[in-house]
């Protein structure tokens, strides 16, 4: 004899195929949306990577009054911080009071946690200024290829600071990457562009991009360690970075261009192109967050490789850059290395290797539940 519980179970069983069908249709629709977002975000990332380098190079080689790169770094930090504040405000459903209380609690009350962002913020400020110096002194394509050394420095700092392990394929790709950059640098003894190169130094550009790669690797790993060690959102962390970045950027501006900025003004030399560069740099980092969410490392590596091709092709037409066999060989090695490094590791074939992580994942939850009961 079936009671109320049996009737309810029978009703649920009858509805099960319908619910499964609806769930399946929803999952398929979600996959389609995610796939579109994946490729759209990657296409935008390719355009952003290539256009940022090309636009900075073009703006810095145009005749006439030059804008102060230190002020551009400050403005990029301000725009990035304001964007993240708006995103947090949207998460708070437009409640300004709740936003203010949240920022006060997260930034002021937990000031020790905020101070942790001072180190990567200092390095990012240095890196952003060095990028302007490097691009002002190097051909855009040469900078784009050489700047991929940040993959090597990031990998090394990940092994040293985060105790990450790299596969043989990844170690091999790093060797290929270094070889490709070395070939490009050995061949690029001078600028290959037909535009005026007065006041430009290849050595200064090479030193700037090398230090920028080193600082990028350390800052990225340090920031990743901070993110994984707390529950704070990426947007909050970017606001904290923006606070220190703006302050440190103003100090760098005062030290390097203080008298010139006082005489000519903060926005001296700013044109619509310069504003495009600043907006591009400000939202580039936020775009990477979208790509990481909807794409994967393989397609991100593919986007980086494709942006090198786009930058080189555009440099030929915009700056008269000459692509010869050594440069093409070195660039091809770098592009291949970026793609190989982004490939996923081979699954561990050791018996029981797949069940061990599940035990480690669920065990702490069971223990914590028992303690709270």
pLDDT at 275 over 50: yes
Considering the chain, what is the average pLDDT of its residues? Answer: 78
Asked if 262 and 135 count as a contact pair (C-beta separation under 8 A), the reply is: no
DSSP secondary structure letter of residue 139: -
pLDDT reported for residue 357: 42
Q: Does the pLDDT at position 244 exceed 60?
A: yes
Angstrom distance (rounded) from CA 79 to CA 199: 31
246 has pLDDT over 90: yes
- Longest CA–CA separation in the chain, Å: 96
pLDDT digit string, tens, across residues 294-323? 555 556 666 777 788 888 888 888 777 888
CA pair distance 202, 141, nearest whole angstrom: 13
Instruction: Report the alpha-carbon distance of residue 15 to residue 281 in Å, rounded.
Output: 52
Q: Write the DSSP assignment of 79-104 as a string of letters.
A: HHHHHHHHHHHHHTTT-HHHHHHHHI
What pLDDT is attached to residue 28?
59
Residue 21 pLDDT > 70: no
C-beta separation of 35 from 295 below 8 A: no
State yes or no: pLDDT of 26 exceeds 60: no
Domain boundaries, the chain: 35-263+270-344
Q: How confident is the model at residue 347 (pLDDT cuts 50, 70, 90)?
A: low
User: What is d(CA 233, CA 90) in angstroms, rounded to the nearest whole number?
Assistant: 14
Q: Are 286 and 80 a contacting pair, CB within 8 Å?
A: yes
> Looking at the predicted structure, is the pLDDT value of residue 279 above 50?
yes
Phi and psi at 252, nearest 5°, equal: -65, -40
Q: Is 347 helix (H, G, I), strand (E, B) or coil?
A: coil
Contact 356, 193 (CB under 8 A): no
d(CA 294, CA 33): 10
Mean pLDDT, residues 124-151:
87
* pLDDT score at 352: 45
What are the pLDDT digits (tens) for 46-84? 888 888 888 888 888 888 888 999 999 999 999 989 999
Least Cα distance to 85 among 96, 69, 75 occurs for 96
Highest mean pLDDT among 84-98, 145-159, 279-293: 84-98
- Percentages helix, strand, coil for the chain, rounded to the nearest 5? 80, 0, 20
Alpha helices by DSSP H, listed for 165-322, are: 168-187, 202-228, 234-264, 272-294, 297-319
Contact 219, 285 (CB under 8 A): no
Mean pLDDT confidence for 99-121 = 89
Q: Between vectors from CA 362 to CA 359 and to CA 363, what angle results, nearest 5°?
A: 75
Give the tokens for residue 226. Answer: 């901070």
Contact at 8 Å (CB) between 68 and 268? yes
In this predicted structure, what is the pLDDT of residue 313? 83
pLDDT of residue 216: 85
| Residue 215 vs residue 353, higher pLDDT | 215
Q: Which bin fits 99, alpha (ψ -120 to 50), beta or left (φ > 0)? A: alpha
Q: Which residue has the higher pLDDT, 37 or 335?
A: 335
Task: Tell me which residue has tokens 């302007």.
Answer: 132
How far apart CA 207 and CA 203 sit, in angstroms, is 6
Whole-prediction pTM value? 0.72
Compute the CA torsion angle 151, 152, 153, 155 (nearest 10 deg).
Answer: 80
Please name the residue that has the structure tokens 């006439």: 64
Pairwise pLDDT comparison (54 vs 35), residue with the higher score: 54
Query: Is pLDDT of 362 > 60?
Result: no
Is 270's pLDDT higher than 90?
A: yes
Is the predicted pLDDT of residue 189 greater than 70, yes or no?
A: no
Taking a C-beta distance cutoff of 8 angstroms, is the pair 80, 285 a contact?
A: yes
At residue 31, the pLDDT reads 64
Mapping DSSP to helix (H, G, I), strand (E, B) and coil, where does residue 129 land? helix
């Amino acid at each position: 004899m079936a009671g109320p519980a049996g009737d309810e179970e029978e009703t649920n069983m009858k509805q099960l195929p319908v619910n499964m069908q609806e769930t399946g249709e929803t999952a398929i629709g979600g996959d389609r949306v995610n796939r579109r977002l994946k490729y759209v975000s990657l296409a935008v990332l390719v355009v952003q990577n290539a256009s940022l380098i090309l636009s900075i190079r073009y703006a810095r080689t145009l005749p006439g009054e030059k804008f102060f790169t230190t002020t551009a770094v400050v403005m990029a930090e301000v725009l990035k911080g304001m964007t993240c504040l708006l995103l947090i405000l949207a998460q708070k459903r437009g409640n300004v009071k709740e936003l203010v209380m949240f920022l006060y609690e997260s930034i002021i009350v937990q000031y020790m946690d905020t101070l942790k962002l001072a180190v990567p913020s200092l390095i990012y400020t240095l890196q952003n200024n060095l990028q302007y110096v490097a691009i002002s002194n190097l051909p855009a394509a040469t900078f784009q290829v050489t700047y991929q050394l940040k993959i090597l420095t990031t990998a090394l700092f990940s092994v040293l600071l985060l105790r990450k392990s790299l596969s043989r394929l990844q170690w091999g790709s790093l060797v290929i990457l270094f070889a490709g950059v070395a070939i490009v640098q050995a061949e690029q003894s001078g600028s290959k562009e037909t535009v005026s190169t007065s006041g430009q130094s290849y050595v200064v550009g090479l030193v700037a991009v090398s230090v920028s790669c080193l600082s990028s690797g350390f800052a990225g790993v340090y920031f990743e360690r901070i993110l994984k060690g707390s529950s704070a959102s990426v947007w909050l962390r970017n606001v904290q970075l923006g606070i220190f970045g703006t302050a440190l950027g103003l100090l760098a501006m005062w030290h390097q261009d203080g008298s010139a900025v006082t005489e000519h003004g903060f926005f001296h030399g700013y044109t619509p192109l310069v504003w495009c560069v600043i907006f591009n740099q400000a939202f580039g980092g936020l775009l990477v967050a979208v790509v990481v969410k909807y794409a994967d490392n393989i397609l991100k590596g593919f986007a980086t490789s494709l942006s090198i091709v786009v930058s080189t092709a555009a440099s030929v037409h915009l700056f008269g850059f000459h692509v010869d066999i050594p440069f093409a060989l070195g660039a091809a090695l770098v592009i291949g290395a970026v793609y190989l490094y982004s490939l996923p590791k081979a699954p561990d074939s050791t018996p029981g290797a797949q069940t061990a992580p599940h035990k480690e994942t669920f065990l702490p939850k069971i223990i914590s539940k028992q303690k709270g009961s």
